[in-house]
Amino acid sequence: MTRRVLILGGGTGGTLVANRLRRMFTPEQLDVVVVDLDDRHIYQPGLLFVPFGRARPSDLVRSRTRQLRPGVDFRRAEIDQVDLEGDLVALRDGSTLGYDALVVATGASLMPEETEGLTGPGWGAKAHTFYSLEGAASLGVALSRFERGRLVVNVVDMPIKCPVAPLEFAFLADWFLTRKGIRHLVDITFVTSLDGAFTKEVCNRELSSLLEAKRIEVVTEFNTGQVDSAGGRLVSYDGREVGFDLAVVVPLHGGASYVNRSPGLGDDLGFVPTDESTLQSKASPNIFVVGDATDLMASKAGSVAHFEGEILVHNLARFLDGQPPDASFDGHTNCFIESGFGKALLIDFNYQVDPVTGRFPAQWGLPLLKESRLNHLGKLAFESIYWNLLLPGRDIPTVPTAMPLTGKHLVAVTG
C-alpha cells in the first residue's frame, strides 16, 4: 500500500527532505506531498547583501516547484491546523490531507506586530529591516541616501534566523560607508538583548575585538519595548533610550501561526518541541521537525536544516518500517560571518562544542574564527551550493553531517 509523508512548508528544510525521500522511495512505495503558500523560494542568506547593492532582490527568488524532484506533489495552500489525534492537516481552502508521517518545515515567521512601532504608519520613516525581501529593498534605498548621523542595528530578542546576520550587517555597513568616504560622519551602534555580541564565549571574544577594531559600539542587555521611527529612538522596557538617524531592526520571531492553532504541537512561541537527537516531535513519533521550526538549541540556519535532513530522513524511513530511530543529530552548525572588505570568518560548532579557532573541516581547510579572503569566497559559493546541492538533498563534498573535531583548537570549558 502506498503510504504518505506530508511535508508542511517548501522552504529550505521541506524541499531538501522531500527530495531525499523521493530518491529513497519509489512513487508506489511512498507519496511525498509538500504544502506551501506560494511558488516563490527565496534564498534568504542573500537578503544581507541587498541593502548594499550586492544582490538584486529578483535574483534571490526561484520557483519552489522547480526545486522539487519529479514525483513530489506540490499543494499550494495555507495550512490552517494539524489534528495530531486524527493524523490530518486542515488547509485554509477547506480541504484536508491525511498522513502516515508528517514533517513540520514551516520555519520561523517575523512578528513585528509584537513590538510597538514596528508596524503601521511611520514605521519605515527611519527604521527598516533586511529580514524580508521588501524590507531589504527599501533599506537599500534608505542606506543609499544616508549621509551622516547614527546608524543603529538592533536585535529585539532571540531566537532569530541566522543569529550572526545582524553582526554581519554592521560589519558590511562599516565597509560600505568607508568605501563611500563617509564613515567618519557616521556612528555605528549594535544594540542587543544579549549580554554580549554573541552568546558563545570564545566567539564573543573574537567578535568583540573585531567590533572594537571597526569602531562599532555595542549596547548589551537592551530589551527593546518601542521603536519610535519618526522620533528616531529605541526605548527599552527599563526606560533606556538609544537615538538613531537610521535603524535596522530585526523583529521578534515565532513559529508559523497554525502551530498554536494545533493543540499539543507547539510551545509558547509557536516553535515545535523536538527531540534534539532523533528530530521527532515530542508530541508524537510520526511527526518529524526540520529547520527553523524546531525549538532546538541549534542556530536557525540553512546549514543546520541541511545536516538535519540526512538524519531526519533516515529516522523517518525507519519509522515507516516499524523500526525505532537510530540516527542522531549532534547539533552541527556551520556559518560564515561576512566581515566586510572582502573577508569573512567561519564558525563550526554543535550542542557540545562551542565555536573555537582552528581549521575546517580539517588541518588543510578554511580558517575558523579568523578573518580571511578564503572564507569570503566560501560565503559567496554557498549560494550555488544552496541551489545545486543543499536543496536537491545531496551531500556537500568534504562537509560531513557530524561535526568534525580534527582541525579544531579545543579549549577546556571551565565552570
Partner 1 sequence: MSDATYAGRTVAVDPEGFFVDPEQWTDEMAPEIAAEVGIGELTDRHWQVIKFMRHEYEQRGAGPTVRVLGRTSGVSIKELYELFPKGPAKLAARIAGIPKPRGCI
CB 39 within 8 Å of CB 20: no
CB of 79 to partner 1, least distance (A): 23
316: nearest Cα among 333, 303, 329, 331? 329
Choose the stretch contacting ligand FAD; rule: CB under 6 A; options: 261-269, 302-310, 311-319, 346-354: 302-310
Residue 13 or residue 254: which is nearer to ligand FAD going by CB? 13
Choose the stretch contacting ligand FAD; rule: CB under 6 A; options: 161-169, 172-180, 276-284, 405-413: 161-169
Pull the grid cell for residue 10.
517548501
Cβ-count burial of 406 within 10 angstroms (0-12 exposed, 13-18 middle, 19+ buried)? exposed
Residue 45 or residue 112: which is nearer to ligand FAD going by CB? 45
d(CA 181, CA 400): 43
Residue 47 or residue 235: which is nearer to ligand FAD going by CB? 47
Q: Which does 309 bind (CB under 5 to 8 A by kind): ligand FAD, partner 1, none?
A: none
Helices 201-213 and 165-179: angle between axes, nearest 10 degrees: 20
Pick the binder of ligand FAD from 35, 202, 211, 289 (CB under 6 A): 35
- Scan for cell 511558488, then name that residue: 39
Q: Which does 159 bind (CB under 5 to 8 A by kind): partner 1, ligand FAD, none?
A: partner 1
Choose the stretch contacting ligand FAD; rule: CB under 6 A; options: 25-33, 265-273, 287-295, 368-376: 287-295
Instruction: Kindly report the number of other CB atoms within 10 A of residue 283's CB atom.
Output: 18
d(CA 145, CA 247): 13
d(CA 312, CA 6): 14
Contacts of 394 (CB under 8 A, 6+ apart): 388
Q: Which residues bind partner 1 (CB under 8 A)?
A: 157-159, 163, 194-195, 199-200, 221, 223, 225, 237-238, 252, 268-269, 297-299, 333, 415
d(CA 69, CA 278): 25
Q: Which does 269 bind (CB under 5 to 8 A by kind): ligand FAD, partner 1, none?
A: partner 1
Q: Is 104 in the site for ligand FAD (CB under 6 A)?
A: no
Residues that bind ligand FAD (CB under 6 A): 9-14, 35-37, 44-45, 47-48, 78-79, 105-107, 130-131, 161-162, 165, 256, 258, 291-293, 300-303, 305, 335
